[in-house]
Structure 1
Amino acid sequence: MPARDGNEPTTRALVPDDLLRLRDIGLPEGSMVTSHTPLSVSPDGRSLAFLINRANPDTNSYCRALVVLDVASGGTRVVDTGGELITLSYILRGMLEEPGFPDLIVPVWSPDGRWIAYRKKVDGRVQAWRVAADGSGANAVAATADDAESVGWTADGTRILVGVRPGIRETRALIAEEGRSGYLYDDRFNPTTGAFPKITGEHPRVVLSAAPEGGDIRAADAGDAAQLGADVTLGGGSMFSATSRAGRASAKRDFLGPLMLHVEDAAGKAIPCEADICSGKITGLTWIDDTLFVVRSQGRANNEMAIWRWRPGKDNPRQILAGPDVLQGCTAAAGRLICLRENATTPRRVVAIDPGTGHVTVLYDPNPEFASIRLGTSRRLFFSNNVGIETWAELVVPPGYAGGKLPMVVVQYHSDGFLRGGTGDEYPVHAFAARGFAVLSFERPPFFATVKGTPKNNDELMATNNTDWAERRSLLSSVEAGVQKAIDMGIADPARIGITGLSDGASTAAFALINSDRFAAAAMSNCCMEPGAIATYGGPVWARAMQSQGYPPATRPNPEFWEPASIVQNAARIDTPILLQLADREYLHALDVWTVLTELGKPVEMYVFPDERHIRWQPVHRRATWERALDWFDFWLRGRRDESPAKTAQYARWDAMRQGQKTNEKP
């Protein structure tokens, strides 16, 4: 929990650890929209319970605290501490995936408001815990053989419910037994994640019932199990919904179409809604008495968020709040809307919103230190690409910027809320600005296929996107349009532009290295879409999925298809310095690229982080990634270096790369 001694300087410069040690409530990225709020309202509506999570890179761990907030006063108390980071798992292409992103932890109040149940990971196991709401004690409830996926209470509050998936443990045991005689290489394999079969299948949830004080674990009966809600695919999303005495509202869609709002009264009769708010990018629903509040993205390129109020069947929807700030997890308590709110230069806070006027009051700021930290200034830019698709970006300049051309780094591929490190939190925007860079924090435009057509499923979507690399061309055109706007404003130096990326952003960066002369340095956290990666390294299921989207199979090499997108095929003409910082579960995809670039004497450096996922989950690795990326762009775009003796070897390698780059320059 934050503590202030009153002796902080009025302002000070930001250091990267300020961003790394942010206290998070809910999922860390502002772009992550979920149908569940991390803010749990007590039965009497007077208190909120939520989990705070803070990285500690010194110990490579997380500080976690369960907090209760009094809605009237904003006062907080810590009711439990400890536990390890719980990361998300889900089924993708029939396989259990663990991308490294934090899972959302939602505390659950007992019906009498005296206790809170939540999931806590201790010694590698996720269990259900019971915590006294007044902070007087806590205990583990059920030492189950399987990780707790969800928790709840029976209707009478006498027992705690725990959702588990024993099929995962059972499948893992079968795989271990299979290893005694060798694994059959089949559809269960994804070689990049390890030389063993992955867990496959849906593995239905089993609901257990336990005594709150611990023990007496047994299968829950059907009535009690229903308290946890319907079973959904592991990690799968659900539609937005909200229920009150006045009726029920839900928002759902077909594939990638707009979310459609459906409302029924208390008797189940549909109430039509013809207003614009009833379709589009809806991100939250909640009721206060007979009034439904709809949170949605709107405005130019959906860059704003707004709250609308509507009494279904009684009046027309009315907007009470709109602007560039991100609103997440909105719920109702004590007659007000309670939301998480943040913007480009303000970390997330808990706020109360007047349901009639939209007036906002800050209830709790988990990161008060940022009031005394100097951040760069940000402005929102809008631009369209060469096929007319509009998007936006935040252009951040250093604190005290007084004009002149700056080196600029592009960070991708979402820019919602407080600017951390882009998608995956890999490239710290405000830390780059503090070093003297301009930063273009880029918001990904809609898929080419959804703007230019109406795909009915993912295969159709990707097949359209991949035809003549239409999606990659669209994205690169958008990035270049944003960069050009910053150049035209006299802020970005056209000769000193860098590009970064993770996941889809890394694919955009790789495509840019082949198809653009704009970028003088690059850093990627994944690499790369190459023939070998598509046909082999991702395993048989991945290969077939890619073939269904238009990629050629291994038996029919197609150099012409790959010409616009393969770094390997274009390596001889790529001279841009490339930094690769990769997870051990993904680096195989980059070996072809690294090998060819290295053989040609190109400036490339690759690091592999142990026990990492698609998203870096270990704080010490994120710190190392940030520091090296900052040094990399300082060296290549600003000609500066950190004089620390510990980095002597690093700069010796980079100096040799620069000399080789000069030697290879075309006359």
Structure 2
Amino acid sequence: MVSTRVLGAIAAANFAALPAPALAACDDLLPPPRAAAAKRPVTPDDLVGLRDIGQPDGAMFGQPSPLGVSPGGTKAAFILSRADPKTNSYCRALVVIDLSGSEGPRILDRGGEMITNTTLARGLVVDVGFPAIVTPAWSSDGRWIAYLRRDHGVTQVWRARADGRGAWRVTRSEVDVKTLAWSGEGKRLVFVSQPGQAEAADKVAREGRGGWLYDARFAPNYAMRPLLPDTPRRAFSIDPESGEVRSASAAEKALVAMEDQSGASIAPQAAAPGGRRALTERSGASPLAPLRLVVEERGGERIVCSAKACDGGFTAMWWDREGRDLIFLRREGWAKGRMGLYRWRPGEAAAPRAILRTGNVLLGCVMAGTSLLCTSENATTPRHLVMIDPDTGETRRAFDPNLQFRDIALGKVERLHWKNDVGLEARGDLVLPPGYRPGVRLPMIVVQYHSDGFLRGGTGDEYPIHAFAARGFAVLSIERAPFVAASRPGIRSWADVNAANLEDWAERRSLLSSLETGIGMVVDRGIADPARIGITGLSDGSSSARFALINTDLFAAAAISTCCMEPQSITTYGGIAYAETMEAMGFPPASRDSPDFWRPYSMALNASRMDVPLLMQLADEETLLALQTFTALREAGQPVEMHVFPGEHHIKWQPAHRRAIYERNLDWFAFWLQGRRDTDPGKAAQYRRWQVLREARRERPSHS
């Protein structure tokens, strides 16, 4: 039974006051009409201020859709979001569009804070900083739209009138609401939360009075206190008119996701009228084996699609209204760099028919009437909404939140393809400055580690690709090659994958080979100056950058967003559980002196020769992991600088921080690779520091 205290806390405010309309803010969130203007260069503010629908990363396949379609399929609702660095906050609004295009977009509610994803790390709750997807839900009569909104640090259920006559909070939960749905009859709202989180936090606080036991709950890099455990999810049902709350029935629970879906890639599947079901499954024992498409008939018969168009890469699928044809979307081509939309009639001899093949990234597609509604973007076109005819592939634009980019001059983007030294496919997007003259060698920045959709700032969005190009750099945005384990026989589990990747740093060597090959292509074409190449990266991209700095002399400057794996820091500051996990994967414990194992990967062990200028811009939650590296480089007199951003996570989410990171990265590479300085007097101190680093570097024997 749910306690009276929990139910009362959820519902109390519904009785405390009459509903009040949401406060208006960010009146310019909808794009203004275009005015004829000469094209201008892109700026960092243009990139920071992009209006987003869903998660901003174009590589986030397999996530829920951010689009809610009305019962009749004529309208769509979504949360529109734009960062505001001046206030270090976000403008957010619930927006409805008419899919026929006969009416302009309407804002039904403004306000709320960014909702970020949490994930589980060894059973403990960690905020990763990446925006959570909020999918608005229409009532069955089309009169109301329910959605999640966060205010004062807690996410609640809200509902808005679809006709624009107001929006009100529905719940007053002590803890975040995770997901919601309308009940079958459309009169109640079902929502999921974790009431035990409040009790778990109280328990940790009480324990602290006598001193916390240092155990597997600690991850010192996050905080010097126990992280909270995951607690059971509970489903509740609320009458939005009266505020009456009760535990959800079994039928109501079936309407909502009871498990944590954040960050997980959802395997595509679709159910048809009459019980037919389409799903995907691995085509082999390896967890890296490509997915295959299977249709299960109501009687149990299985139909496996064996056509070339079904050899993996599936991202979404739907049945037509009659349940006869399956429509599916997949990634395909070299290194899965293109997308294809297909139509297939299971049980017949004909292979799936290609309806649409495109270099655009299509995400969050949902059926809207007889059409598909998707977000769409490519290297030079920010995300917008399109309607696709699933019979012909005909596509039309339904809503563009970033009309201003049509008046911004971006450089030419060329897709490059190559294989690394173990035969794995890789690709990259070469971005050149507007007006580039062939034959001129440019300094080049390498950005990692996915290159899909609009080219913002790489994975983590910290290295503004088009802004680099606007300032005279060539940029190579690289899509990482598949795991090296994919080229090894006998892989049957994730433990096998980890072992194959770690053996003699095989995964790092494979990715380094990919970097070297892609960079070599651009150098051989006379575009990149081999003496002025910079490298960047967050997370896996940072790991590749650090390995490259140790094992090659390709780079003249570097900037990373996460750091580092070192003999002592990895198992010390990550905590007991992290240390045990890493040891199980094959890493030596901190108490064992293992220089031969670590030398190819440890910047600290190689500090005496790590003379490439290195900028580290880190979340405060991850700074402890960088201290061994930073200290060793500093003691060795190497050119290193580190900045720490408060209240940040693995993905930095605060707009003011992202703006500062963009600017500092642009200045850093301009200083070291172009010999340029920004004349802004406010940056004088940074250039004094960097000049000291430059002069000390020149005085070192290796630079004499």
Q: Same fold (TM over 0.5)?
A: yes
The answer to whether the Cα contact below 8 Å between 1:287 and 1:332 also exists between their aligned partners in 2 is: no
1:307 corresponds to which letter in structure 2? L
Instruction: Tell me the CA shift for residue 267 of structure 1.
Output: 5.7
Q: TM-score, normalised by structure 2?
A: 0.92
- Aligned match of 2:60: 32
How do 1:166-245 and structure 2 match up within 5 A?
166-201=195-230, 203-213=231-241, 215-232=243-260, 236-245=264-273
Instruction: Tell me the CA shift for residue 217 of structure 1.
Output: 1.5
C-alpha separation in 2, matches of 1:216 and 1:374: 55
- Aligned match of 1:366: 401
How do 1:278-357 and structure 2 match up within 5 A?
278-289=310-321, 290-314=324-348, 315-357=350-392
Which one of 16, 36, 53 corresponds to residue 44 of structure 2? 16
The answer to whether the Cα contact below 8 Å between 1:139 and 1:213 also exists between their aligned partners in 2 is: no
Q: Deviations over 1:577-623 (max 9, x none)?
A: 00000000001111111111111211000000000000001000000
Instruction: Tell me the CA shift for residue 5 of structure 1.
Output: 4.9
C-alpha separation in 2, matches of 1:323 and 1:565: 39
C-alpha separation in 1, matches of 2:229 and 2:139: 35
Q: Deviations over 1:515-555 (max 9, x none)?
A: 01010000000111101122211011111111111111122
Matched, 1:390 2:419: no
Stretch of structure 1 that moved more, 376-385 or 286-295: 286-295
C-alpha separation in 1, matches of 2:290 and 2:123: 27
Which one of 119, 126, 151 corresponds to residue 148 of structure 2? 119
How do 1:177-576 and structure 2 match up within 5 A?
177-201=206-230, 203-213=231-241, 215-232=243-260, 236-245=264-273, 247-253=276-282, 255-265=287-297, 269-289=301-321, 290-314=324-348, 315-403=350-438, 404-576=440-612
> What residue ranges of structure 2 are gaps of 5+ in the alignment?
1-28
Instruction: Tell me the CA shift for residue 237 of structure 1.
Output: 4.3
Distance verdict in 2 for CA 1:6–1:614, change over 3 Å: closer
Distance verdict in 2 for CA 1:6–1:536, change over 3 Å: closer
Matched, 1:648 2:680: no
C-alpha separation in 2, matches of 1:614 and 1:31: 17
Which one of 107, 110, 135 corresponds to residue 164 of structure 2? 135
Stretch of structure 1 that moved more, 55-64 or 163-172: 163-172
C-alpha separation in 1, matches of 2:428 and 2:88: 32
3-state SS of 2:621 partner: coil
Which one of 68, 71, 80 corresponds to residue 52 of structure 1? 80
3-state SS of 1:548 partner: helix
Instruction: Tell me the CA shift for residue 281 of structure 1.
Output: 1.3
The answer to whether the Cα contact below 8 Å between 1:286 and 1:330 also exists between their aligned partners in 2 is: no
The answer to whether the Cα contact below 8 Å between 1:139 and 1:214 also exists between their aligned partners in 2 is: no
C-alpha separation in 2, matches of 1:55 and 1:448: 37
Instruction: Tell me the CA shift for residue 511 of structure 1.
Output: 0.7
Q: Deviations over 1:27-50 (max 9, x none)?
A: 111101124211111111111111
The answer to whether the Cα contact below 8 Å between 1:411 and 1:440 also exists between their aligned partners in 2 is: yes
1:621 corresponds to which letter in structure 2? H
C-alpha separation in 2, matches of 1:305 and 1:211: 43
Stretch of structure 1 that moved more, 22-31 or 270-279: 270-279
C-alpha separation in 2, matches of 1:344 and 1:236: 25
Instruction: Tell me the CA shift for residue 270 of structure 1.
Output: 3.2
- Aligned match of 1:659: 695
The answer to whether the Cα contact below 8 Å between 1:448 and 1:474 also exists between their aligned partners in 2 is: yes
Indicate the RMSD between aligned Cα atoms, in angstroms.
Answer: 1.6
The answer to whether the Cα contact below 8 Å between 1:327 and 1:342 also exists between their aligned partners in 2 is: yes
Instruction: Name the % identity.
Output: 50
C-alpha separation in 2, matches of 1:567 and 1:211: 58
Instruction: Tell me the CA shift for residue 332 of structure 1.
Output: 1.3
Distance verdict in 2 for CA 1:603–1:560, change over 3 Å: same
C-alpha separation in 2, matches of 1:573 and 1:6: 53
C-alpha separation in 1, matches of 2:675 and 2:562: 26
> What residue ranges of structure 1 are gaps of 5+ in the alignment?
none
3-state SS of 1:628 partner: helix
The answer to whether the Cα contact below 8 Å between 1:405 and 1:493 also exists between their aligned partners in 2 is: yes
Q: Deviations over 1:227-251 (max 9, x none)?
A: 2145356654432222232632222
C-alpha separation in 1, matches of 2:668 and 2:255: 52
How do 1:555-634 and structure 2 match up within 5 A?
555-634=591-670
1:491 corresponds to which letter in structure 2? I
The answer to whether the Cα contact below 8 Å between 2:344 and 2:352 also exists between their aligned partners in 1 is: yes
3-state SS of 1:513 partner: helix
Stretch of structure 1 that moved more, 365-374 or 85-94: 85-94
The answer to whether the Cα contact below 8 Å between 1:460 and 1:549 also exists between their aligned partners in 2 is: no
Instruction: Tell me the CA shift for residue 405 of structure 1.
Output: 0.4
Distance verdict in 2 for CA 1:499–1:235, change over 3 Å: closer
Distance verdict in 2 for CA 1:103–1:234, change over 3 Å: closer
C-alpha separation in 2, matches of 1:348 and 1:484: 31
The answer to whether the Cα contact below 8 Å between 1:2 and 1:368 also exists between their aligned partners in 2 is: no
C-alpha separation in 1, matches of 2:260 and 2:631: 43
Stretch of structure 1 that moved more, 482-491 or 32-41: 32-41
Instruction: Tell me the CA shift for residue 6 of structure 1.
Output: 4.7
Instruction: Tell me the CA shift for residue 18 of structure 1.
Output: 0.4
Instruction: Tell me the CA shift for residue 410 of structure 1.
Output: 0.3
C-alpha separation in 2, matches of 1:44 and 1:240: 24
Which one of 88, 91, 96 corresponds to residue 120 of structure 2? 91
C-alpha separation in 2, matches of 1:529 and 1:310: 48
Q: Deviations over 1:187-217 (max 9, x none)?
A: 111010000011124x221111111236212
C-alpha separation in 2, matches of 1:527 and 1:518: 20
The answer to whether the Cα contact below 8 Å between 1:50 and 1:107 also exists between their aligned partners in 2 is: yes
3-state SS of 1:34 partner: coil
Instruction: Tell me the CA shift for residue 19 of structure 1.
Output: 0.6
Stretch of structure 1 that moved more, 275-284 or 380-389: 275-284
C-alpha separation in 2, matches of 1:268 and 1:598: 66
Instruction: Tell me the CA shift for residue 575 of structure 1.
Output: 0.8
Instruction: Tell me the CA shift for residue 274 of structure 1.
Output: 2.1
Distance verdict in 2 for CA 1:647–1:447, change over 3 Å: same
Instruction: Tell me the CA shift for residue 556 of structure 1.
Output: 1.6
